[in-house]
Structure 1
Amino acid sequence: MTLTVITINYNNLEGLRRTVPTVVAQTFQDFEYIVIDGGSTDGSREYIEHEPRIDYWVSEHDHGIYNAMNKAVARASSEYCLFMNSGDMFFSPMVLEQCVPLLGEADFCAGGAVFMKGQEARTWMPPASMSVGFILVNSLCHQSLFTRTSLMRQHPFNESHRIMSDWEQFATCWHLHHASYRSLPSIVSIYFMDGISSTQKGLAARERAQVAALVFGHTAASQGSQAEQRMAARENKNLGREAVLRNKLRHAMDMKPLARDWKIVRNGVKFLLKDLFG
């Protein structure tokens, strides 16, 4: 068997109800499905227990998400693992049918994702080739990353971290142990940006800096941190512009038709010029 799909959950019944149906609905069904629950008390255990498509599950106390992920990898019997944790979703029922035939050559096979934040959606695709520069300032979407099981057993997730152990595993395996990488042309997952890695950015930045110094050296880590800060500043600037534009559009929609249309065109041109020339 080529693939094991893994869902990690703890007291997130609503997330399970969002995730599990997109797993069992895949048109490609030759995969193993493992669910590791951290001893939930919100009805998650009962939901998991009554899903016949799950091949193995356990509901018991663990020592955090990376401990649970390591437990899942230890149980996996397939060549690759994909983590689709509770709350996140496959992009479509055709994902595994499109992606599984492309696995086998590389240790890491990364697909695209749709990032959801509130009512806003943003599409992301992985780089065609991997570089230190990308790793220092970016992350692959873990819900869209097919990873060779044997590699994860040789280099398990660091359970002392709360957020960045998946990034650490990839950086360490690719940079220090020469693991191979390829990008996939398909969007794999829908990732909802309400988890700990999205809401506790300060902790994520500290863990990333610690790992980067160990893997790439202090100089490269410092350069990566500075580049990440510049990227965050640009992102905040763009978010500010978007907020201003939304307010202006709302105001314009309350105006009479001719004045409204002229204001929308004028604001659109103004923001286009800002994007082009700063």
Structure 2
Amino acid sequence: MKISVITTSFNSAGTIRDTLDSVAMQTYPDIEHIIIDNQSTDDTLAIVAAYPHIAKVVSEKDNGIYYGMNKGLELATGDIVCFLNSDDWYAHKNVLQTVAEAFLKLGTDVVYGDLQYVDKIKTGKIKRTWRSGKFNPKKMFYGWMPPHPAFFALKKVYDKTGGYNTGFRSAADYEIMLRILILHQFSAGYVPDILVKMRAGGYSNATINNRVKANNEDARAWAVNGLKPHFLFRYLKPLRKIPQFIFR
């Protein structure tokens, strides 16, 4: 099974080496790494050019990360598709091997695992650990979700459900997982392993105002799919993050 790893980038020279190194070191033999760059003006593309494992590079102006992800989906030829942002990296060299084996063993349409947030500068310092737990679709109605960077789906899933909704600013990743797992009811299996490390931060968590906007987008993700979560969803979703800081 070929795995397509899609990385979007924009002026990512300070972080993308970690991303590229983590893919290059994977023990799994059949990987297609696709880079979708939003016309970076720093050394991002020069760094990318130094990695011979990369299968495809596109650098052209677009309207944001979700547009780039959709471009990657169009180019992907793998049986499995995943997204690894240019400031994230795989936690160990056997991540993709573990994921491929899980697809074969579990026979599911989706496989997901755990994610660890680390300090932006001191990346060995753990900020919080997102342990997803076993899949139960009912949990999503109460604010549960899998971590998008540790979310792997068969290409046929995206072929049926479509790409990322670019009408969202920060929640298109949440919306597409909701669409896949709840609206279309594709099966999912859990790998109890930290698969991805991510630098802490990001738009939706940068300020309280941004968090409120992101929470509103999360609610809209249900509405655009004609779905309705539990009435306490807006409160339960952020509350689920608290144990991630305690049990690191």
User: Contact 1:99 / 1:186 at 8 angstroms: preserved in 2?
Assistant: no
In structure 2, do the counterparts of structure 1 residues 130 and 2 end up closer, same or farther at CA, with 3 Å as the change threshold?
farther
Aligned pairs for 1:1-278 (under 5 A) are 1-104=1-104, 105-117=107-119, 119-134=125-140, 136-154=142-160, 155-199=162-206, 200-215=210-225, 217-218=227-228, 220=229, 222-228=231-237, 231=239, 235=242
Letter paired with 1:47: I
Give 1:56 deviation, angstroms. Answer: 0.5
Q: Distance in 2 between matches of 1:202 and 1:13?
A: 30
- Checking the alignment, whether the CA contact within 8 Å between 2:116 and 2:126 is kept in structure 1 is no
CA distance in 2, matches of 1:26, 1:213: 39
After superposition, the Cα gap between the structure-2 partners of 1:123 and 1:197, relative to the gap in structure 1 and judged at 3 Å, is same
Kindly provide the CA deviation profile for residues 48-102 of structure 1, in whole angstroms up to 9, marking residues without a partner as x: 1232110001111012111100100110111111111101110011212222121
Report which structure shows greater RCO (CA 8 Å, sep ≥6): 2
Distance in 1 (CA, whole Å) between partners of 2:60 and 2:220 is: 31
SS at structure 1 position matched to 2:41: coil
Secondary structure at the aligned position of 1:170 is classed as helix
Q: 1:267: which partner in 2?
A: none
Query: Do the aligned residues in 1 keep the contact of 2:132 with 2:145 (CA within 8 Å)?
Result: no
Q: Rate the CA distance shift 1:106–1:52 in 2: closer, same or farther, 3 A.
A: same
Partner letter of residue 161 of structure 1? F
Residue type at the aligned position of 2:144: N
CA apart distance, 1:134: 3.3
In structure 2, the residue matched to 1:250 is: none
Cα offset, 1:135, TM superposition: 5.0
Q: Take 1:110 and 1:153, find their aligned partners in 2: how far apart are those partners? A: 19
Residues 63 and 221 (structure 1 numbering): CA distance in 2 closer, same or farther, change over 3 Å?
farther
Q: How many residues align structurally?
A: 236
Consecutive unaligned residues of structure 1, counting only runs of 5 or more, are: 243-278
Distance, in Å, in 2 between the alignment partners of 1:22 and 1:112 is: 16
The DSSP-based 3-state class of the residue aligned with 1:110 is strand
**TM-score, normalising length: structure 1:** 0.77
Partners of 1:163 and 1:135 in 2: CA distance: 19
**Separation in 2, partners of 1:68, 1:221:** 32
Q: Secondary structure at the match of 1:140?
A: coil
Q: Which moved more, 1:39-48 or 1:124-133?
A: 124-133
Matched residues in 1 for 2:15 and 2:230: separation? Answer: 35
How big is the alpha-carbon RMSD for the aligned residues of Structure 1 and Structure 2?
2.3
Displacement of 1:223 in angstroms is 2.5
Taking the aligned partners of 1:73 and 1:217, their CA distance within structure 2 comes to 25
Partners in 1 of 2:97 and 2:180 — Cα distance?
27
Question: What SS class does the counterpart of residue 52 from structure 1 fall into?
Answer: coil
Helix, strand or coil at the partner of 2:98: helix
Amino acid corresponding to residue 228 of structure 1 in structure 2: K
CA distance in 2, matches of 1:203, 1:82: 26
Question: Which structure would you say has the larger Rg?
Answer: 1
- Percent identity between the two aligned chains: 25
Q: Which amino acid aligns with 1:174?
A: L
Q: Are residues 14 and 29 of structure 1, via their aligned partners in 2, closer, same or farther at CA, if it must alter by over 3 Å?
A: farther
- Is residue 98–residue 186 contact of structure 1 (8 Å, CA) maintained in 2? no
Between Structure 1 and Structure 2, the one with more helix by share is: 1
